[in-house]
Structure formats: structure tokens, C-alpha cells
Amino acid sequence: MTSKMTLNSWLYLALSDLPQPVQLRLETEYRAHLLDSESSDDVLGVWGDPNEVKKQLGGLYISAYKLKELEQTKLGVTLFVYAMIAVMAALGVWIAWYSQGKDLSLLIGPAAVLLISAVIWRHSARLLPAKRQFLRSSWSVSSMNVMFWCGWAIKRWTGEDTSTLTLGLVILLPLLWLVQFWEARQDYLRLDRTLRLVGTQN
């Protein structure tokens, strides 16, 4: 890589992964900044390695591929997850009835997940397709873990299961969810920032 790199080449390397409206907006800003600089003929000297800039922009905006993926509704995995939850809920109802209400460990988890899902579905219905898909798919990934965690927590609380493994799962899973929530929040902010440049806000 030399200092002879052209402006167009630098812009292509740095911006090509981003959605086109984001590319156009950033390209305009970069061109204006270069013209105002004292070294307008030295692209690398002003902005540095385009691959490093590309990496930094990737932390601010989502890629064109990811945006297109989020704008396409995918029901396959979601339907499978909720079919499993419905089966577990039915099994939980049967066990609760058979035990005369003494064993609710397999009922509370699915019930809690379905309730939370209803809230998320209702809230996300007002959002743009990309945001709606992001929220729903993110929750679907975590919902099975939440369902099983509820069952383990109840068994641990009632003393039915006192194993070290169950205790570890009950403690560690919420910590893992905090990490996942933080990562999801950062991804959502990237999505929101991207959509604002694309020209759709909600």
C-alpha cells in the first residue's frame, strides 16, 4: 500500500460493505473533509489505512448484507422455537394437573416465556421491519434458555434438585444474559444509527 492510493479507491475499500445511502452520506463528508485539509492529495496521510477505517465504521453501522437480512422476515426458526415452547407448556400443564398443582417446574417457564413474547411482539409490531426482526429474533434465541432456567430455578428453590450443576446454571445463566443483552443493545444502536442515515426512522 502506497501514498499513491486514489480517493475513489480509498472510499471503496473503507465504505463498500455499508448500505448505499450510508456510503453516499459518508462519502460526501469524507470528500468535503479532504478538500478542507492541507494535504488533499494525500488520502492515506489524512485518513490512514482504509481497512482500519472500515473496521471502525463496522462498529458504528451494520453492513448492507445484515440490513438486507433483517428486512426479510424469517419465520422458520421462530416457529420451531415457539412450537417447542408450546409443547413444553402443554407438558407442564399435564404434569401440574397430574400432580394436583404440586409440580409447576415445567409450566412456569413456558408460561413466562409466552407472556414475555406477547409483550415483545406487541411492542415490536410498531417498529420498522428491520428493528422488528432484530428484536424478535434476539428474544427467540434466548427464550429457550429462559424457559429451562425457570424450571431449574424452581427445582433448586423447592429443594427438589440440589446438585451443584443446577446451582451453577441458575447463577451463571443470568450473568450470560447480561453480556448478551449488552451486545444486543450495541447491535440495536448500530442498526438505529444505520437506519437514520438510510432515511427511515422509528
Q: Which residues make Cβ contacts (< 8 Å) with residue 31, sequence separation at least 6?
A: 7
pLDDT tens digits, 68-98: 888 877 667 677 777 777 787 787 788 778 7
DSSP state of 196: H
- For residue 165, what is its C-alpha cell? 450443576
Instruction: Report residue 98 as a C-alpha cell.
Output: 397430574
- Residue 87 grid cell: 409443547
Q: How far is CA 7 from the centre of its chain?
A: 34
Distance CA 149, CA 166 (A): 9
pLDDT digits over 137-177, tens only? 888 878 888 888 988 888 888 888 889 998 999 999 999 99
pTM of structure: 0.78
Q: How many helices (H) and strands (E) does the chain have?
A: 9, 0
Percent of the chain with pLDDT over 70: 91
> Residue 193 — very low, low, confident or very high, per pLDDT cuts 50/70/90?
very high
**Given a cut of 90, is residue 64 above it in pLDDT?**
yes
The 10 Å CB-count burial string (b at 16+, else e) for 25-63 is bbbeebeeebeeeeeeeebeebbeebeebeeebeeebbb
* Residue 111 pLDDT > 90: no
Question: Count of CB atoms within 10 A of residue 143's CB?
Answer: 23
Cα–Cα distances (Å) from 39 to 32, 33, 42, 43, 109, in that order, read 13, 10, 5, 8, 62
Q: Would you list the domain boundaries of the chain? A: 7-61, 68-198
